[in-house]
Amino acid sequence: MRILFFTPYIGFNYGGIPKAVEELASAIGKLDASVDVVTTDANNLEKISVPLKKWIDKKNYRIIYFPCWNRQDFVISIPLIIWLCQHIHEYDIVHCHTVFAPIVLIVDWMCQYRHIPYVVTPHGMLEPWALSYKARKKQIYYNLLEKAALQNANAIHVIASLEASNVRSLGFQQIVNVPNGIHRQEFEYLPEPEIFYQQFPITRNKSLILFLGRIDPKKGLDLLAPAFAKVHDKFPQTHLVVAGPDNIGFMTTVQRYFRQAQCLDAVSFTGMLTGNLKSAALAAANLYVAPSYSEGFSMSVLEGMASGLPCVITNGCNFPEAAIAQAAYVVDINSDAIADALIHCLSHPQQAKAMGDRAREFIFQNYTWDRSAEKLVQVYQAIISRNSLTEYFAISSNSASNG
């Protein structure tokens, strides 16, 4: 089976989508499938420094980058489109990542014209909050173009049960629910926190609350600022670490949130953390927080839980299974609820640690890339064989509850 992954961008300045694409490609490539990833050199306000228009071998897959013109996440690449016109017929199935992108729409149209089955992963872009952000433009684009492309897709791949419900409410039925995952071995033994303390000495000897994510309006940092101010007033030894890239120049606004809440001095903005430094930050942290208004299915939430951290996440993170398993505090999307949950964790450290231990085991059992890859390959095979997807949806959506 020859599988083409298409994504307009794979630079890590775009957040969790690029990591999900690469991890899925690698995991599926281990399962007797040939996976090619086609993308551009876009990296938000920058470009990725890579060889262009030539295949690069990765672990279990290969990738090719094309030059493009882009403005943040709006990407156009004529060389890429020409290449697809010449080669898309060589694949058994095409898997497109993200929506509301004209270049993805062109790929969808090519698949329809060539009668090649295709799958679309919205990555949370069809969630109510995401649709309401810049709503007028999205409504016009959706009604004129995106809706038909999604209706013609052989499957819409969602990554959370609530996302499945929200996409179904838009009138789509061909939905498969296969969540993101982690590599268990990366979280079984975290490095020493000292690596992080040396890089950010102000965090030493503090109770660290860790936020991992892009500096973006949907991440709820406007809620986290007053929530953390309330926490810091009660627990002066706490320190908030905001770790993530500023893709859209939103940092000045975010810093103003914390300045107005009078707790900016107790916050460290580290920029994006990767590799050992990111793992050391997870090891150094006492709590993890995700105050998001909307997520598809957050990679960083999985990483926080897999690290054994007590986690406070909003119901915008689309992870009710974590609450059912008593593996995280899932709270309403408001600053008081976030603050109260963080204060409860700090006030009851043994109870919080027990929840972190449950979280770690819950993620290890249910949310790994190998499991996700196996389910997606089943979906691809069913589509290519023109079988019903109903049983695959049932397997995928029930995976966490079945353990």
Domains of the chain: 2-181+368-402 (3.40.50.2000), 185-366 (3.40.50.2000)
Contacts of 119 (CB under 8 A, 6+ apart): 93, 94, 95, 96, 153, 154, 155, 156, 157, 176, 379, 380, 383
Question: So what's the pLDDT on residue 71?
Answer: 85
Tokens of 66: 């094309």
123: Cα within 13 Å, side-chain hemisphere: 17
Eight-class DSSP state of 293 = S
For residue 23, the tally of other CB atoms under 10 A from its CB is 19
Query: Are 18 and 7 in contact, with CB atoms under 8 Å apart?
Result: yes
Tens place of pLDDT per residue across the chain (403 aa): 999 999 999 987 777 788 899 999 999 999 989 999 999 999 887 888 999 999 999 999 999 999 999 887 789 999 999 999 999 999 999 999 999 999 999 999 999 999 999 999 999 899 888 888 888 889 999 999 999 999 999 999 998 888 899 999 999 989 999 999 999 999 999 999 999 999 999 999 999 999 999 999 999 999 999 999 999 999 999 999 999 999 789 999 999 999 999 999 999 999 999 899 999 999 999 999 999 998 878 889 999 999 999 999 999 998 999 999 999 999 999 999 999 999 999 999 999 999 999 999 999 999 999 999 999 999 999 999 988 777 665 444 444 443 3
